[in-house]
Structure 1
Amino acid sequence: MSDFIQVEKIDKVLKINLNRPDKYNSFVREMALALQDELKKASADPSNRCIYLTGNGKAFCAGQDLAEATDPNGPELTKIVTEHYNPIVGAIRNIDLPVVAAVNGVAAGAGANIALAADVCVATESASFIQAFSKIGLIPDSGGTFTLPRLIGMQKASALMMIGDKVSAMDAERMGMIYKVFSDETFAEESMKIAQTLSNMPTKALAATKKLLNASSLNNLEDQLALEDKYQTECGQSYDYAEGTKAFLEKRRPEFKGE
């Protein structure tokens, strides 16, 4: 495992820390491939019920390390996009686990768009988001042009991507870019509490919900209703559905297994 990625298991939550704090957790190839590997391993381990992604130090992630991107002996932009960021965003959106992005500081460029690809994105009050691509003559990648307009609308997304304004955590919450903002003092505890809550919920139903949300961007209503029927039938045959309904009738807290 790369030193640039730290992994810790907290009950049923897999905590993944981006760990290049001296470089604001900006990505280099080793770090990107290591994150992909950890997401793949997380998906294969049934004891994981939620992923919590955050950064060490003052930043969540400043995006791509430009020293690597401009190194004549380093990977070309095409390789960086197709082999580094696209697989990371694809893994986050397709893994059958809820992913919480806990933005502990600045999230810029690819770092912002990776955070926004999570199922639940929360931030500390001193954090900020910036679509920094236009400032160096590039287009937003890491799924940003897909995700951001669906979160905040075309007009705001277009302006933020073209002008490159820095968005405070509070403004990001107000415009629907992220779920919640917590004070710097309570952020670590409150954001982990969300991950812990998700880790105790019916994992199969959450995974099916994620698939439905992914599909809803492209489906018409009839196709979406048919897909809801398919996944509802599958969830209705799960242990967690039987436990959830039994607990409701018995007026007690359900004990879901993710099965």
Structure 2
Amino acid sequence: SGFIQTREHNAVLHVTLDRADKLNALNVAMYEDLTAAVQHLAARDDLNALLITANGRSYCAGNDIKDFLQADPASRDEGKLSPAMILVHALMALDKPIIMAVQGNATGIGTTMLLHADLVIAADDARFHTAFINLGLVPEAGSSLILPALIGRQNANRLLLAGDTFSAEEAERMGLIAYRTGVDELASEALALAQRLAEKTPAAIALTKQLTRLSDAAIKAQIEKESVLFAQRMFSEDTRERFAGFMKK
């Protein structure tokens, strides 16, 4: 895509979203590149951790709405997974630590992908917003199951039903993120954190991940359920009108 950059820092694969002029909104090609990077890491015995960061003032503005408008309904027939959910499955399958570093806005998939990180570090200016309800959509990426378990049902419904935005301070207090730091320190602290995890015993890391996360089967079943309903809403007339209105803005 040209919008996903990768580099290696010793045993860390550092992946950067690099579409700053679009606030790192993700399109199909970017999802495919991210999935390829995760699968590449999984196959490398000399790489022990994944760090995902973003260039520019925002971490990720969510899915590119233009892609939603141009999507073919047949691409989501029979519960087919979208490129975004294929990426989520790849993240779930990775037995190496995943660290994500957030600055500015994390919207839609920009927030729900964080649920599949092992540790999230955010700058003081980070803001978390799912936006689905405002576009006439339903949750995705297993967020309807993971968020209530992680931050409680009321806080989850603030994101998913009320469409609230969480500050970095709120997100830290609720447990949505693990660490909070200054904007200028985010890059160095995120890399230091990733390198610290990369130095730990890979087998112990993999087993600990298995022990501490929710059932993969339950999450995958929820993603499948969400995907069917998400597609129904995405191609509904009222949601298409909301997409068009968003693009006009």
Output the CA distance in 2 between the equivalents of 1:102 and 1:200. 19
Percent identical among aligned pairs is 33
Partner of 1:181: 180
Provide the aligned C-alpha RMSD in A.
Answer: 2.0
When normalised by structure 1's length, the TM-score is 0.78
- SS of the aligned residue for 1:150 comes to helix
Size of the aligned set, in residue pairs, is 216
- AA of the residue aligned to 2:87: I
Kept in 2, the 8 Å contact 1:7–1:15? The answer is: yes
1:1-259 alignment, distance < 5 Å: 2-71=1-70, 74-76=71-73, 78=76, 82-215=81-214
Output the CA distance in 2 between the equivalents of 1:48 and 1:189. 19
Output the CA distance in 1 between the equivalents of 2:216 and 2:154. 18
Kept in 2, the 8 Å contact 1:15–1:52? The answer is: yes
Q: Judging changes above 3 Å, is the alpha-carbon distance between structure 1 residues 37 and 135 closer, same or farther for their aligned structure 2 residues? A: same
Unaligned ranges ≥5, structure 1: 220-259
Kept in 2, the 8 Å contact 1:81–1:142? The answer is: no
Partner of 2:225: none
Output the CA distance in 1 between the equivalents of 2:40 and 2:63. 24
Kept in 2, the 8 Å contact 1:117–1:147? The answer is: no
Kept in 2, the 8 Å contact 1:89–1:143? The answer is: no
Q: Judging changes above 3 Å, is the alpha-carbon distance between structure 1 residues 121 and 206 closer, same or farther for their aligned structure 2 residues? A: same
How much has 1:105 moved relative to structure 2?
A: 2.1
How much has 1:159 moved relative to structure 2?
A: 2.4
Deviations 1:193-213 (A, max 9, x none): 110100100111111111122
Unaligned ranges ≥5, structure 2: 219-249
How much has 1:215 moved relative to structure 2?
A: 4.9
Kept in 2, the 8 Å contact 1:49–1:98? The answer is: yes
- AA of the residue aligned to 1:13: V
When normalised by structure 2's length, the TM-score is 0.81
How much has 1:78 moved relative to structure 2?
A: 3.1
After superposing on structure 2, the runs of 4+ consecutive aligned residues of structure 1 that deviate more than 4 Å are 215-219
- SS of the aligned residue for 1:146 comes to helix
The structure with the larger Rg is 1
Q: Between the two structures, name the one with larger relative contact order (CA 8 Å, sep ≥ 6).
A: 2
Partner of 1:231: none
Q: Judging changes above 3 Å, is the alpha-carbon distance between structure 1 residues 86 and 63 closer, same or farther for their aligned structure 2 residues? A: same
- AA of the residue aligned to 1:121: V
